[in-house]
C-alpha cells in the first residue's frame, strides 16, 4: 500500500490539485470484495458523505487507486455527480443544525435522497481500469456498489487521500505519527479527524484472531519522503509566534 501511496503519478495529481508537494497521506483501507458469495447477503446501499456539515467548502478530496477492473457489473464506486454543489443548501434547508456532529460522516435516508433526485441528480457507477485514479470531493454523496451476479471480478482498491501538510497542527502531526508507528489505520482525512482503527480482529468468543500481527509482514523503506507523507517527519520546524 505504501508503494501505491508513493506512486509518482498519484502524488503528481494531488500536488497539482493543492498546489504543493508538501503533502500528508491518509492511513486508509484496502478493499477486497469477492463476487458471487452465496454465504454473505448483499449489503444495502449506504449513501453518505465523509464531511460533516459543520465544514463548508472544499476540505478533502478522496481517492481510489484502482487495482482491478470496475465494469458495469463489478463492485465499485457509486456517486451522485454534482451533489457537492448542493451540500450547503441541503443541510441548511433539509436538516436541523442542532443534530450536526463533528464526525466527518453523514448518512442519507431514502427520503433525503429524493430531495437530490428532485434536483435532477441520479447515481452514477464509476467504471475504471487497473491503474486508474478516481477522485471526488468529500461532499459528494457516494457508496461502494456490490458486484452483480454477472461479475467474476475480485474488486481490489486502495483508498488514499492527500492534503497539504500545512493544514495539520503540531498536535495533529504528533497523533498521526503515533498512529503510523503503531501500524494502524484511520479515516479518509490525512491531516486531522484521526479515528484510530484497531489492529486486531475479534472472534465470536471475544478473543483476538491468532493470525493477527503487531506489524506488517513486510515493512516499507522508511525514506524521508515516506516519513513526511506519514507525518512522522516534518517538512519544516514549528516556531512559536
User: Does any domain span residue 164?
Assistant: no
Assign residue 53 the CATH number of its domain. 2.60.120.620
198 has pLDDT over 70? no
Q: What are the tens digits of pLDDT across the range 202-224?
A: 777 888 888 888 888 899 999 99
If you compute the radius of gyration of the chain from its CA atoms, what whole number of angstroms results? 19
Q: What are the tens digits of pLDDT across the range 124-169?
A: 999 999 999 999 999 999 999 999 999 999 999 999 999 999 999 9
User: Does any domain span residue 131?
Assistant: yes
User: Does any domain span residue 67?
Assistant: yes
Q: How many Cβ atoms are within 10 Å of 36's Cβ, its own excluded?
A: 10
Query: 211: exposed, middle or buried (C-beta count within 10 Å: 0-12, 13-18, 19+)?
Result: exposed
Residues in Cβ contact with 232 at an 8 Å cutoff, skipping those fewer than 6 apart: 176, 177, 180, 181
User: Does any domain span residue 7?
Assistant: no
Tell me how long the chain is. Answer: 241
How confident is residue 240, by pLDDT bands cut at 50, 70 and 90? very low
Q: What are the tens digits of pLDDT across the range 67-99?
A: 999 999 999 999 999 999 999 999 999 999 999
How confident is residue 227, by pLDDT bands cut at 50, 70 and 90? very high
User: Does any domain span residue 82?
Assistant: yes
pLDDT for 23 equals 98
* Grid cell in block for residue 180: 503510523
User: Does any domain span residue 42?
Assistant: yes
Number of domains in the chain: 1
User: Does any domain span residue 87?
Assistant: yes
Residue 106: which domain range? 29-159
Whether pTM > 0.85 for this model: the answer is: yes
Alpha-carbon distance 184 to 180, whole Å? 6
How confident is residue 41, by pLDDT bands cut at 50, 70 and 90? confident
pLDDT for 202 equals 74
- The pLDDT mean for the chain works out to 92
User: Does any domain span residue 78?
Assistant: yes
Amino acid at each position: 500500500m505504501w508503494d501505491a501511496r508513493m506512486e509518482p503519478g498519484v502524488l503528481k495529481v494531488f500536488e497539482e490539485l493543492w498546489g504543493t508537494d508538501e503533502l500528508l497521506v491518509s492511513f486508509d483501507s484496502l478493499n477486497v470484495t469477492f463476487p458471487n458469495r452465496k454465504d454473505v447477503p448483499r449489503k444495502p446501499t449506504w449513501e453518505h458523505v465523509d464531511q460533516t456539515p459543520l465544514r463548508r467548502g472544499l476540505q478533502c478530496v478522496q481517492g481510489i487507486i484502482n487495482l482491478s477492473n470496475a465494469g458495469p457489473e463489478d463492485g465499485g464506486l457509486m456517486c451522485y455527480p454534482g451533489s457537492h454543489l448542493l451540500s450547503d443548501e441541503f443541510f441548511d434547508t433539509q436538516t436541523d443544525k442542532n443534530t450536526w456532529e463533528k464526525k466527518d460522516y453523514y448518512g442519507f435516508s431514502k427520503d433525503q435522497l429524493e430531495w437530490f433526485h428532485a434536483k435532477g441528480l441520479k447515481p452514477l457507477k464509476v467504471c475504471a481500469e487497473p491503474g486508474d485514479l478516481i477522485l471526488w470531493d468529500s461532499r459528494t454523496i457516494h457508496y461502494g456498489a456490490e458486484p452483480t451476479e454477472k461479475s467474476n471480478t475480485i474488486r481490489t482498491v486502495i483508498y488514499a487521500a492527500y492534503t497539504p501538510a500545512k493544514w495539520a497542527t503540531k498536535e495533529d502531526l504528533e497523533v498521526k505519527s503515533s498512529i503510523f508507528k503503531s501500524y494502524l489505520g484511520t479515516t479518509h482525512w490525512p491531516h486531522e479527524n484521526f479515528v484510530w482503527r484497531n489492529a486486531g480482529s475479534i472472534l465470536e468468543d471475544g478473543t483476538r484472531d491468532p493470525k493477527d500481527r503487531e506489524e506488517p509482514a513486510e515493512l516499507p523503506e522508511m525514506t524521508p519522503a515516506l516519513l513526511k507523507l506519514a507525518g512522522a517527519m516534518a517538512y519544516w520546524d514549528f516556531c512559536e509566534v
